[in-house]
Amino acid sequence: MNIRLFLYGLAIWVVATIALRMEGQHMLKPGRLAGTLILFAICFPAVAWLTRRLCRSFHLPREEWPAAAVSLLIPTLLLDPFSSAFFPVVFPNMPKEVAGIFGGLMLWCCAGALTGVTIRFRKSA
């Protein structure tokens, strides 16, 4: 495990959780299909880009990127199941109906991170 990336992941998780606790009611709204799809469409490439950027900034060899992404994602994967299970307590500002959207968004972000480090772009000749 890459401890530095784990700590970055933990910091990102703390900041994102605080942000959602303070302003999440403006991002996740029940019955807002278009808004949810837009949020998902923004988050996937943003997290993919961020994960690639962190791997590059740590000068990691390309073959270590998937393991590095897992290190970055461990806080989300370990802590957000509890955020989902106790959603009304963790996020009292949001309606409980959006707990599923929240859980899906966390999975979607993790998929974005893993896709970002595994996809290879060909350089044009």
pLDDT in tens, 9-68: 999 999 999 999 999 888 888 888 998 999 999 999 999 999 999 999 999 999 999 999
Identify the DSSP state of 123: P
Asked whether residue 101 is domain-assigned, the answer is yes
Q: How many CA atoms lie within 13 A of 25 on its CB side?
A: 10
pTM for the whole structure? 0.87
Q: Which domain holds residue 66?
A: 3-19+35-118
Asked if the model's pLDDT at residue 124 lies above 90, the reply is no
How many domains is the chain built from? Answer: 1
CA 72, 77, 78, 83 torsion-angle sign: positive
Residue 28 lies in a domain: no
Say what the pLDDT of residue 28 is: 87
Let me know if residue 53 belongs to a domain: yes
Q: Inform me whether the pLDDT recorded for 113 exceeds 90.
A: yes
Question: Which residue in this structure is represented by tokens 């998780």?
Answer: 13
Asked if residue 112 is part of any domain, the answer here is: yes
Integer Cα distance of 64 and 71 in angstroms: 11
Q: 25 in a domain, yes or no?
A: no
What tokens does 125 get?
């000749």
